[in-house]
Amino acid sequence: MSTPDATPCCAPLTRETISADDAATLAVRLKAIAEPTRLRLLSLIAAGDGGEMCVCDLTGPVGLSQPTVSHHLKVLVDAGVLTREKRGVNMFYTVVPSALDSLAVVLTTSAAAPSPAGA
């Protein structure tokens, strides 16, 4: 009795996958930026002069109080997406490029990437 040739049902992997530890780290970052206000804050800071902004300059554009904005920024700092530096009485936030790069690597495929809005 012979058995038919077994062929795999799925195509082989074409690139290295991420480790469980890296997946956990990236999941925390994705969760942090998945909230619309935090995503907007991240965008504003990245577009700021020198890639940084003071919390006092972020309340107006997002229409939220300083304590609420500070809470959202803390979540982004805790996720490793932003860093903060106190200068006098003000807190300045900067994007961590390597954190965003690690997300981009995982989310980018060899196929043409869609626009940010998915259109």
Q: Which of 13-17, 21-25, 31-35 has the lowest mean pLDDT?
A: 13-17
Q: Which pLDDT tens digit goes with each residue over 54-86? A: 999 999 999 999 999 999 999 999 999 999 999
Look at residue 109 in the predicted model and tell me its pLDDT: 62
Look at residue 4 in the predicted model and tell me its pLDDT: 59
Residues 8, 44: Cα–Cα separation, whole Å: 47
Which CATH code for domain 36-107?
Answer: 1.10.10.10
Prediction pTM value:
0.75
Query: What is the CB neighbour count within 10 angstroms for residue 5?
Result: 5
Give the residue extent of every domain in the chain: 36-107
Q: For the chain, what is the mean pLDDT?
A: 84
